[in-house]
Amino acid sequence: MTSLLVPPSSVRSQAKVDHEAFKVKVDNVPCLLLSHKIFNEYKNTIRKILLKFPKFKPVQAHEDKEEGKCVVYLDPQKMKDVSDDFKQEIMWDQVYLEKELHLSYENWPCNDVLCAVLPKDVEVPTSYSIIGHILHMNLRKELLPFKKAIGQIFLDKTPNIKTVVNKLDIIDNTYRNFAMEILAGEENTVVSVKENGVTYHFDFAKVYWNPRLATEHKVLVNFLKSDDVLYDVFAGVGPFSIPAARKGVRVLANDLNPESHKWLLKNAEVNKVKKLISPFNKDGKDFLRDDVKKDILERREKNLPGSEHLAMNLPAIAVEFLDVFRDWLTTDEMEKVYSKPPTVHVYCFLKAAKTEDFSALAKELVEKHLGAKLDANAIVDVHHVRNVAPNKEMIS
Task: Give pLDDT tens digits for 337-374.
Answer: 888 899 999 999 999 898 899 999 999 999 999 998 98
Burial class (CB in 10 A: 0-12, 13-18, 19+), 91: exposed
**pLDDT for res 380:** 87
CB-based contacts of 222, cutoff 8 Å, min separation 6: none
Q: In sequence order, what DSSP letters do the residues of 11-46 get, joined into one string?
A: GTT-SS--GGGG-EEEEEEEEEEEEHHHHHHHHHHH
Q: Which CATH class is domain 208-395?
A: alpha beta
Assign a CATH topology to domain 110-188: GMP Synthetase; Chain A, domain 3 (3.30.300)
Cα–Cα distance list, 213 to 208, 297, 314, 348 (Å): 11, 32, 12, 14
Every domain of the chain and the residues it spans:
24-103, 110-188, 208-395
80-106 pLDDT per residue, tens? 878 888 888 888 888 898 999 999 999
**pLDDT for res 9:** 86
Tell me, yes or no, if the pTM score tops 0.75: yes
Same fold, 110-188 and 208-395: no
**pLDDT for res 291:** 98
152-178 pLDDT per residue, tens? 999 999 999 999 999 987 666 677 777
d(CA 311, CA 383): 15
Tell me 175's DSSP state: T
Residue 380 main-chain phi, psi, to 5 deg? -75, -45
Percent helix, percent strand, percent coil in the chain, to nearest 5: 40, 25, 35
Average confidence score pLDDT of the chain: 92
Q: How many CB atoms lie within 10 A of CB 244?
A: 28
* CATH number of the domain located at residue range(s) 24-103 in this protein: 3.30.70
221-238 pLDDT per residue, tens? 998 999 999 999 999 999
pLDDT exceeds 60 at position 1: no
pLDDT exceeds 50 at position 2: no
235-281 pLDDT per residue, tens? 999 999 999 999 999 999 999 999 999 999 999 999 999 999 999 99
